[in-house]
Amino acid sequence: HRRSCIAYAFVRQHGRARRHGDGTLLSMVLNNMTQGVVLFDAHERVLVVNDRYVEMYGLSPAVVKPGCTLMELIQNRITTGSLNIDPEKYRSEIMTAVRDGAVMNRIVETPDGRAVLVVNRPIQNGKYWIGTHDDITERIQAERKSAALSEQERRRVTIETDLIVDQRSVDS
């Protein structure tokens, strides 16, 4: 019951914002997310795309907007250099996953060295699918640094252990 009250309040507020010409609350939320978000329909057309998605890949807002096709979006990513893959193969991978009801996860490296976690998830039995794009570059760098420090510590312990063993053999 509490969830339905919250949802009802959200819908009422969202509707009120529209009537007053203040823009939509949902649009404001989407455009202030740290993730890039794009929602497609079953006809492979963009229904919703947030500003972060367009900025993340340096795409053209004149091309990547509601109504553009998946192939137009893929072509714009190739043109801007944020995607380096066969367009038809990429489209086919996404559509196969959507048809199978499978979530498609991958980490893509952009030409400028960023790591982006891409998750394509079918919703409403494949009637729609949503792609979320999360720049995880800092997280990957922190994990690599932590792994390197752990490896250095392991080597230090090994060297110290070897030195202690060598010292004992000299003392004997």
> Where is pLDDT greater, at 83 or 15?
83
Q: What is the mean pLDDT of residues 63-88?
A: 94
Residue 172: band (very low, low, confident or very high) from pLDDT cuts 50, 70, 90: low
Position 13 scores a pLDDT of 52
Residue 168: band (very low, low, confident or very high) from pLDDT cuts 50, 70, 90: confident
Distance CA 40, CA 23 (A): 22
CA distances from 24 to 21, 130, 145 (A): 8, 20, 42
Least confident of 18-32, 39-53, 57-71, 105-119: 18-32
User: Are the beta carbons of 133 and 82 closer than 8 angstroms?
Assistant: no
User: Are the beta carbons of 65 and 45 closer than 8 angstroms?
Assistant: no
Residue 83: band (very low, low, confident or very high) from pLDDT cuts 50, 70, 90: confident
